């Protein structure tokens, strides 16, 4: 009988744990300051670096969720619990601002850059062939993000058109739902080349590949904006984080991770 | 509209292929006495548990030039499998496998064993027992199997998203197009397509359940005689 009770107690405790009643006695519990961040997936490599720097400076921790900017927009409109929204473009946060869902104005935090990328073992080499790599007969499929809703996809199409190769490669294009998925298409070898975010090609899994940064004059600026959301639990700290992003030290981090600092205007 | 037709075409192919391969597999699962059979049963059910995007990601890797599927396919047909309609069919067959096989196994197992014994006593072999006894008695299971795999494929999203590459007329199914529209904030078009998909699915399912009802009414049930 005693043994049975013991098992029952254990089962109850396990159940409580599954429901999240047991205190997660980790670092984040009881943290005096926590900012809940919704970030575009092209930020998934730079954000941890920025978060750790900011945490050291301010003692304020960031809890970041990554996803597509468009999804976040729909979720934020329907009351998703975030304090700050980092979009991969300027349009989405501006829409939130227009709908009166932001605290203050939208601010620009970075400019995205494009790269042509192939795996290390590929026969084409964008680093030396540049645009000609796209026309190589060994290239059957070229991956990019969906230009209908992904800012990097839009920029990629613009660049292909400006370089005068769009019509010749149009039938080879395949579209990822976002820029990371486009990268997976190339990494898995199903596409031979990708027009990707430079920030992704700096990721540990892709650093060995062959990449060429597409010169910025080939596409319109990929301006990325952020906004503090109405009802933010911690608007003051969120504001401080946005200010921190404008600081000189951060500009160097942005460059290192494949972004440019926002244009001064 | 093109995308809706593509989804219907994909679902029909998948349902057809799953019937052809699902029936022998389900027959084996229902009647085999192999002691490690439960491993096969578990393997068939695994796509139920795996998130579709996870399954899709590994399908994408398997379809790559280094992957087993991709290299075999390109040896046979001289081209890749990802971003093609054939690739979608193969991925969807795997994804809908449990939905096709489970109802068949249940139906085959439900056939009265005495009838099988009687059939054997009358001199029928395994094949003719299957064709003349088991299959006619399992028709509802077969219909359920086909319709579940059809419906499940019709609404499929994650797997197609991962292996499709969003090509109009080839791999852009209706669920992908609805997602795209929502992403581009074109809610009107998204709603229209979603409504069409809903109406079509409802019509198909009503038809099937209606047919099932007619089959059932032939049996007299004392406590439901109205």
Q: Do A188 and B61 touch (CB under 8 A)?
A: yes
Q: What are phi and psi of A159, to 5 degrees?
A: -65, -45
Contacts of B92 (CB under 8 A, 6+ apart): B10, B14, B153, B156, B159, B160
Inter-chain CB pairs, A–B, below 8 Å? 67
Question: Which residues of chain B are modeled with pLDDT < 50?
Answer: 226
Predicted pLDDT of residue B140 = 87
Chain B residues with beta carbon closer than 8 angstroms to that of A176:
165-166
Q: Give the per-residue pLDDT at A15.
A: 67
Please return the burial class of A164, using the count of CB atoms within 10 Å of its CB with bins 0-12, 13-18 and 19+: exposed
Kindly list the residues from chain A whose CB atom is less than 8 angstroms away from the CB atom of residue B70.
189-190
pLDDT in tens, A67-77: 888 888 888 88
What chain B holds in terms of domains, given with CATH numbers, is: 2-225 (1.10.3720.10)
pLDDT for A27: 43
Average pLDDT of the segment spanning A38-61 = 90
Is A117 within 8 Å of A111 (Cβ atoms)? no
- Say if residue A17's pLDDT is above 70: no
Residue of B nearest to A72 (CA): B183
Query: Measured between CA atoms, how close is B78 to chain A, in angstroms?
Result: 12
Flag whether pLDDT at A249 surpasses 50.
yes
Q: Using one digit for the tens of pLDDT, what is the confidence trace for A102-136?
A: 998 999 999 999 999 999 988 899 999 999 999 99
Interchain CB distance below 8 Å, B179 and A140: no
Higher pLDDT residue, B220 or A201? Answer: A201
pLDDT for residue A22: 45
The closest alpha carbon to B88, from B203, B171, B20, B167, belongs to B171
* pLDDT over 60 at A205, yes or no: yes
Measured between beta carbons, the chain B residues lying within 8 angstroms of A73 are: 185
Across the interface, do B185 and A70 touch by the CB < 8 Å criterion? yes
Which residue of B63, B183, B185 is in closest CB contact with A190? B63
pLDDT at A203: 86
Decide if pLDDT at A220 tops 50.
Answer: yes
Residue A54 has pLDDT above 50, yes or no: yes
Mean pLDDT of the region A214-243? 92
Q: Which of B60, B180, B183 sits opposite A190 (nearest CB)?
A: B60
Q: Would you say A152 and A196 are in contact if contact means Cβ atoms under 8 Å apart?
A: yes
CA distances from A243 to A37, A42, A57, A228, A236 (A): 15, 21, 12, 12, 11
Mean pLDDT of chain A: 87
ipTM, two decimals, is 0.74
pLDDT of residue A86: 95
DSSP secondary structure, A232-259, as one string: -TTHHHHHHHHHHHTSHHHHHHHHHTTE
* B57, B83, B179 member nearest A174 (Cβ): B83
Residue A4 has pLDDT above 80, yes or no: no
pLDDT of A228 reads 95
pTM above 0.95, yes or no: no
Task: List CB contacts of A35: < 8 A, sequence separation 6 or more.
Answer: A60, A61, A62, A63, A83, A84, A234, A237, A238, A241
Residue ranges of chain A whose CB lies within 8 Å of a chain B CB: 68, 70-71, 73-74, 95, 140-141, 143, 146, 148-149, 174-177, 181, 184-185, 188-191
């Amino acid at each position: 009988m005693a043994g049975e009770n013991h098992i029952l107690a254990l089962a109850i405790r396990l159940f409580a744990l599954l429901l999240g009643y047991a205190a997660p006695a980790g670092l984040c519990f009881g943290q005096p300051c926590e900012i809940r961040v919704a970030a575009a997936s092209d930020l998934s490599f730079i954000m941890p670096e920025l978060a750790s720097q900011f945490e050291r400076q301010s003692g304020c921790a960031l809890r970041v969720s990554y996803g597509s900017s468009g999804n976040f927009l729909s979720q934020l409109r329907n009351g998703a619990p975030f304090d700050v929204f980092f979009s991969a473009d300027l349009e989405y946060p501006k829409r939130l601002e227009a709908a009166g869902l932001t605290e203050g104005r939208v601010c620009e935090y970075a400019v995205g850059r494009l790269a042509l990328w192939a795996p290390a073992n590929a026969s084409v080499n964008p680093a030396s062939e540049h645009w000609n790599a796209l026309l190589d007969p060994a290239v059957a499929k070229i991956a990019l993000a969906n230009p209908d809703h992904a800012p990097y996809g839009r920029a990629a199409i613009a660049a292909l058109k400006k370089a005068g190769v769009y019509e010749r490669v149009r039938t080879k294009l395949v579209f990822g739902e976002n820029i990371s998925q486009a990268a997976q298409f190339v990494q898995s070898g199903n596409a031979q080349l990708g027009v990707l975010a430079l920030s992704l090609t700096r990721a540990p899994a892709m650093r060995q590949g062959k990449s060429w940064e597409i010169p910025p004059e080939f596409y319109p600026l990929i301006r990325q904006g952020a906004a503090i959301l109405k009802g933010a639990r911690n608007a003051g700290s969120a504001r401080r984080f946005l200010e921190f992003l404008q600081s000189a030290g951060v500009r160097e981090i942005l460059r290192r991770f494949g972004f440019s600092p926002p244009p001064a205007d | 509209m093109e995308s809706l037709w593509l989804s219907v075409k994909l679902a029909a192919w998948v349902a057809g292929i799953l019937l052809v391969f699902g029936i022998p597999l389900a027959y084996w699962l229902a009647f085999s006495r192999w002691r490690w059979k439960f491993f096969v049963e578990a393997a068939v059910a695994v796509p139920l548990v795996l998130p579709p995007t996870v399954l899709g990601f590994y399908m994408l890797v398997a379809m790559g030039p280094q992957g087993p599927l991709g290299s075999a396919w390109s040896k046979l047909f001289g081209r890749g499998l990802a971003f093609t309609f054939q690739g979608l069919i193969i991925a969807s067959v795997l994804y809908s496998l449990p939905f096709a096989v489970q109802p068949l196994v249940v139906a085959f197992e439900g056939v009265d064993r005495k009838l099988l014994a009687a059939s054997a006593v009358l001199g029928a072999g395994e094949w003719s027992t299957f064709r003349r006894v088991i299959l006619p008695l399992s028709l509802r299971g077969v219909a359920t199997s086909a319709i579940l795999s059809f419906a499940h494929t019709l609404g499929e999203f994650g797997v197609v998203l991962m292996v499709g590459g969003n090509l109009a007329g080839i791999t852009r199914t209706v669920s992908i197009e609805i997602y795209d529209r929502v992403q581009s904030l074109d809610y009107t078009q998204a709603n229209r397509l979603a409504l069409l998909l809903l109406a079509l699915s409802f019509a198909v399912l009503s038809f099937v359940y209606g047919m099932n009802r007619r089959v059932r009414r032939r049996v007299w049930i004392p406590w439901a005689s109205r």
